[in-house]
Amino acid sequence: MSVNATLNAQDQHHDDGHGHHHKETFITKYIFSQDHKMIAKQFLITGFAMGFVGILMSILFRIQLAWPEQSFYIFELLLGDKYAPDGVMTPDSYLALVTIHGTIMVFFVLTAGLSGTFSNLLIPLQIGARDMASGFMNMVSYWLFFISCVIMISSLFVESGPASAGWTIYPPLSALPEAIPGSGLGMTLWLISMAIFIAQSLIGSLNYIVTVLNLRTKGMSMTRLPLTIWALFVTAIIGVVSFPVLLSAALMLIMDRSFGTSFFLSDIYIKGEVLAHQGGSPVLFEHLFWFLGHPEVYIVILPAMGLVSEIMATNARKPIFGYRAMIASILAIAFLSTIVWGHHMFVSGMNPFLGSVFTFTTLLIAIPSAVKAFNWITTLWKGNLQLNPAMLFSIGFVSTFITGGLTGIILGDSTLDINVHDTYFVIAHFHLVMGISAVYGLLAGVYHWFPKMYGRMMNKNLGYAHFWITAVGAYGVFFPMHFIGLAGLPRRYYTNTAFPYFDDLADVNVLITLFAILTALAQLIFVYNFIVSIFYGRKATQNPWNATTLEWTTPVEHIHGNWPGEIPSVYRWSYDYSKMNRDETDYVIPGQDYVPQHIPLQPNEDELSH
């Protein structure tokens, strides 16, 4: 009842709006827009801009790792005299680069850029709503994100350098400017930027949750929602549960840094002086950080899983296999994700008994993940696969998710973690399972929903070139990393030349860097394709992929309120692809292998419960 009431109220409001059209100026349309579709594009493009910086940084430190302490013009050009005297990268700037690379990629690209973009774009369109529950809060959310980007980028230019204590910013290193120069003003800006980022994430997430719960159109029960919406909805819930904990950790760290408290600091002697701090514990910070940090990786991967499920079903012309199991596994992953954080801390000095508990919960999370992987593979089985670029990226997603996920069984086992903890084995694992996979999800989503965002199509052949180079390059970068990790090579080392034992890893590092450069260059194809297609791409038809979900019932040209007339009602789930009629003679709608969600039950159709 309440759902209908809200909907009607919205309809009415919208109809009222028709009478006196408020004039949209450039500013209200493109800058301070409250339209979810525009905000989605703002998130996407800001995310891409940050991603450009993040990837560029990774190339810089990869060059240093392959050819340590050699002079490169590009270092001199981009890092300047102070951070690369004579073109040789300093250890300071190496640590700053890895720190900011991690921060940008995890938070700014894969959290805001991925979930921000697609939550905004798809939630109202796929559930059948005119806009988000609060367009204003949505706008505030984006602009807070923008401010936090500006602050993070500006921290690159401060005198003492940006934060360089690793993206996990463990104190005391991050708390004491005496310990590392980056922990001065750079770290302060990092913390301010992240505090604002958390605020934007909370405002956004609350909005997504309320919208999904209250603004679904008539007939859109929770079990008829596309998996994208389930994933984005649960992601928002995890965000609301875990991000505030990071905020509290950040606030306590700010207190320790600037106001002399001792939450995380105790018994420290540095630069010839004993500090007054007493009684705090860095391990407490690790607990707080990872209480967000671990759910965060699911905040990153769940939206990608949702997008991939949707794209895969559409392009396989088949329902997603095991819809309810997919929802159940999203919920199971979400629940378990909040009780596994300790697996980052097996050797942190916490009680070994806790290690046992976290090993147990961590390996449990492999079960829903395995179910998802098997279900995706089965979705392909006996399909009629339309191998569009989005579909290829979705297949690529499943591939890297499996490869990266499997090594999680090693790292999640407290015993095995002892000797591979903080080595390149970990880098390989999480880049494949959450980095590359989530990026594939993001790219698949962009290729698939580009027509919805810009009313034009992206170039298919450039998309293919982009995918194949990326697919080869990503494995080229991260597969060999497992082996140098197993050789005991620690991460975050400026150079490995201090240990002659690692000399034979130099070749592998060169190989990895070459693949990394190749992969990064391939992204330029995408950038070109993206920009050119916005302006010159082929005009899209209303439903280019023959998909069932509601967003493809809206007109190509964006209008405020999404549907010109009434919001369509929903009569079925979103996966009626290739469904046959009762006598198995033809599709339910003859000659058309899909039945959109707003089409009522046909006379010769069996209703199936999924």
Partner 1 sequence: MTVFLIISVLALLGLTFWQMSKILKLSKPVSSDDPSIASDKDNKTQAYLLMAFTVFLYVFMFYNFWNYTDLYLPEAASEHGVDYDRLMFISMGVIIFVQMITQFLLHYFGWKYRGKKGQKALFYADNDKLEFIWTIIPVIVLAGLIIYGLFTWSDIMFVDEDEDTLVIEVYAYQFGWKARYSGEDNTLGKANVRFIEGVNTLGVDESDPYAMDDKITTELHLPVNKKVLFKFRSQDVLHSAYFPFHRAQMNVVPGMITQFGFTPTLTTEQMRTTDYMIDKVKELNEIRKQRTKELEAQGEMGLDPYEFDYYLLCNKICGVSHYNMQMKIVVEEEDEYEAWLADQPTFGSTIEKK
Q: Which of residues 378-407 bind partner 1 (CB under 8 A)?
A: 378, 380-388, 391-392, 395, 398-399, 402-403, 406-407
In this structure, are strands 273-274 and 269-270 parallel, antiparallel, or unpaired? antiparallel
Q: Which of residues 519-558 bind partner 1 (CB under 8 A)?
A: 532, 536-538, 540-541, 544-545
The contact mask relative to partner 1 for 495-524 (x = CB under 8 A, - = no) is: xx-xxxx-xxxx-x----------------
Q: Which of residues 567-596 bind partner 1 (CB under 8 A)?
A: 575, 577-580, 593
CB of 282 to partner 1, least distance (A): 6
Q: Which of residues 281-300 bind partner 1 (CB under 8 A)?
A: 281-283
CB of 556 to partner 1, least distance (A): 13
Q: Which of residues 24-43 bind partner 1 (CB under 8 A)?
A: none
Q: Contacting partner 1 (CB under 8 A), which of 370, 469, 518, 589? A: 370
Q: To 10 degrees, what angle do helices 36-66 and 91-103 make?
A: 150
The contact mask relative to partner 1 for 321-360 (x = CB under 8 A, - = no) is: xxxxx---------------------xxx--x--xx--xx
Taking CA atoms, 506 is separated from 59, 64, 489, 502, 520, in Å, by: 16, 11, 11, 7, 21
Applying CB under 8 A, the span of 21-29, 114-122, 228-236, 318-326 interacting with partner 1 comes to 318-326
* CA 56/CA 482 separation, integer angstroms: 23
CB of 84 to partner 1, least distance (A): 15
Which are the contacts of 484, defined by CB distance < 8 A and separation ≥ 6? Answer: 423, 424, 505, 508, 509
Q: Contacting partner 1 (CB under 8 A), which of 126, 414, 509, 549? A: 414
Q: Which of residues 182-241 bind partner 1 (CB under 8 A)?
A: none
Q: Contacting partner 1 (CB under 8 A), which of 377, 524, 527, 601? A: 377
Taking CA atoms, 494 is separated from 72, 93, 327, 422, 498, in Å, by: 16, 9, 43, 14, 10
Q: Contacting partner 1 (CB under 8 A), which of 134, 214, 266, 569? A: 266
Applying CB under 8 A, the span of 35-43, 122-130, 244-252, 369-377 interacting with partner 1 comes to 369-377
**CA atoms lying within 13 Å on the CB side of residue 590:** 4
Name the residue nearer to partner 1 (CB basis): 185 or 380. Answer: 380
Q: Is 95 in the site for partner 1 (CB under 8 A)?
A: yes
Name the residue nearer to partner 1 (CB basis): 173 or 246. Answer: 173
* Residue 592 bridge partners (DSSP): 589
* CA 560/CA 451 separation, integer angstroms: 17
Q: Contacting partner 1 (CB under 8 A), which of 185, 240, 327, 457? A: 457
Which are the contacts of 114, defined by CB distance < 8 A and separation ≥ 6? Answer: 47, 300, 303, 304, 438, 441, 442, 445
* DSSP assignment of 147-198: HHHHHHHHGGGSTT-B--STTTT-TTTTT-TTT-GGGTHHHHHHHHHHHHHH
Nearest-10 Cα torsion for 301, 302, 305, 310: -140
Applying CB under 8 A, the span of 12-20, 303-311, 412-420, 559-567 interacting with partner 1 comes to 412-420
Per the document, the length of the chain is 610
